Chains A and B, each alone.
Chain A
Amino acid sequence: MVSSVVPSLVITELCKDLGPVPALNNRMLRVLESVSLKAYPGQVTTLLGSNGAGKSTTLACAQGLLRPEGGSVELLGQDPFGDHPALRSRVGVMLQDGGLPPSMRPVPLLRHVASLYQRTYDIDALIERLELDSFGSRTIRRLSGGQKQRVALALALAGDPDVLFLDEPSAGLDPQSRQVVFDLIAELRDAGKAIILTTHLMDDAQRLSDYVYIIDKGRTVAAGTVAELTSLATSEHESRPVLFGAAPGLVLPTAPAGLSLQETSAGEYRLNGVSTPEHLLWLSQWLAESGVMPSHLSLQARSLEDVFMEFAHKEETA
């Protein structure tokens, strides 16, 4: 993490109630318990969590759309609450529901929003890039979910913002549009924008993020780069397979408890249940004693999903 650079967004111990909720006898529901995070220019900062974890609420507070019950938000060195046109002119927001007027056509809407800014993103390039002109004269009401997502992203970028909030940017996108959107996000990051996005998709988080905050039940439960998070000391519960190739027909001798060998296809093996360094030592010894030199051998990478499941598991057992 670059610490000499001034963060674009600093959230400290954010706490937010929503409601009143009829199902809770009209009491307020505490959606955020304590969320803290920082986002830096030139980085994609991801809020990862399951649905209802508090990601969108955190963004709404960061954008000044919701006033928190406790904690503080500093966006580009400013307090985002209250009427602050200068700040809003430097921040782009893509809302989860899009917030698009159904009776409008995408391109005129984009040009209208762009006209509120002095300096804009290259609007023609944006239209071409996100293929907004392919919708023709259709109104937003008649676009698919993925097409609406592309319009919402274009609106967020219209004012060439320094900080970009993207709430579930890949939701509803087909693989091709997803690639276009991901490439665009990477480019914006390289151009020095601070990008804060939410997702519940591990794959997206792993592909896009420079820094990840795992949010669970309204709290930041873990934070780090993808590499840092996936190299955290593994818990005893977690096991990952070792994959290797050798001559077909290998049979496992008496192995430590929990280990089992599976020949997935002729000469391709999967040793399940590997969870300690001792297991790896045992495997090497067995291979050495058997005189087997594998054609390849790898411990399956720990994914962000494993980390996430581990933290969710910890919360449940705590």
Chain B
Amino acid sequence: MSQSTLTSNAVGPVKRILIQGKYETKVMLSNGEQLVLAVVLPVIALLALTVTNLLDGVADRAVDAAVPGVLALCVISTAFTGQGIGTGFDRRYGVLRMFSTTPLGRAGLIFGKILAVLAVLVIQVVLISVVGVLLGWHPNLVGIVPAAVQLLLGAGCFTSLGLLIAGTVRPEATLAITNLAWVLLAGAGGVLFPLSMAPEWIQPTLNALPSAALGDSLRQSLIDGRFSLAGMIILIIWTAVSAVAATRLFKWN
């Protein structure tokens, strides 16, 4: 069909996404359960891992061993569990449909969500870093930039996975799956505890998980100042596969 030009009454695409990002960030931060998941539980995990000897031998000080894993946990809380549950219920209530009839469209809506995940993640990283420093955290400064890249990539990867689940199953199932995954990955998926602490026979399997790739990469960066290429590759593969799957399988209503 010939497309004659139609004067747009929408604000520009970048402004639209920024506006929606701000809105989604407010929605995330005003949700009590999400705040517990995004802020309270990670801080408790940091305190617990710092005062106990659960991470003995991982780094010189317990807090140095704890902070990278807690940062990885923040990514999973916000990008995967929080964002997945929010999107799942938005889909149930027709909110995705409503916003996709506005100038935002589907793409603008998704970019807005990604922006909100990043905004909340920045708040979490600042908070955990401050609490960490107060507890005596000394990150390896060489690893700061790689860690930032890994956090961004982890956010992309877990946002795609969260959208894939939220867009394909009922919101109650999304709630159950993402919460259960959060607990399992935090404890046994290489997030808070390095995989070197797991039984040797299961290590290759767990190593392929994006949670382990993120947790172990962050530990290597922030403890040893080493850049994990393997972790990076695993994260990129998971991001690509889940983003493609989410794009194809996501049901809007």
Contact B102 A88 (CB under 8 A): yes
Q: Which residues of A contact B94 (CB under 8 A)?
A: 95, 97-100
Check: A79 CB closer than 8 A to any chain B CB: yes
Residues from chain B with Cβ under 8 Å of A119 in the complex? 9
Give Cα A90 to B9, complex, Å. 6
Contact B13 A100 (CB under 8 A): no
* In contact, A74 and B98 (Cβ under 8 angstroms): no
Could you tell me if A118 and B98 are in contact, using CB atoms closer than 8 angstroms?
no
**Pair B106/A83 contact, Cβ less than 8 Å:** yes
The listed residue with most A CB atoms (<10 A of its CB), out of B7, B93, B95, B98, is: B98
Q: Mark A79-90, 1 if CB is under 8 A from B, else 0.
A: 100011111111
Chain A interface residue number, banded: 35 or more
Neighbour of A99 across the interface among B10, B95, B105, CB < 8 A: B95
Query: Which of A72, A95, A99 makes the CB contact (< 8 A) with B1?
Result: A72
- A91 proximal to B (CB < 8 A): yes
Q: A83-B107, A101-B27 are in contact. Are A95 and B6 (CB under 8 A)?
A: no
How many residue pairs bridge A and B at CB < 8 Å?
110
Question: A103: which B residues are within 8 A, CB to CB?
Answer: 27, 30-31
A104 / chain B contacts, CB cutoff of 8 Å: 27
* A99–B97 touching, CB < 8 Å: yes
In the bound assembly, the distance between CA atoms of A119 and B95 in angstroms comes to 23
Within 8 Å CB of A87, what residues of B? 6
| B101 close to A79 (CB less than 8 A) | no
Q: List residues of chain B with CB within 8 A of the CB of A102.
A: 93
Question: Does A101 contact B90, Cβ atoms closer than 8 Å?
Answer: yes
Q: Hey, which chain B residues are within 8 Å of A93, CB to CB?
A: 98, 101
A78 within 8 A of B: yes
Q: Which residues of B contact A (CB under 8 A)?
A: 1, 3-11, 13, 16, 19-20, 23, 27, 30-31, 90, 93-108, 252-253
Task: Give the interface of A toward B (CB within 8 A).
Answer: 63, 65, 72, 74, 76-79, 83-91, 93, 95, 97-104, 112-113, 115-119, 152, 155, 159-160
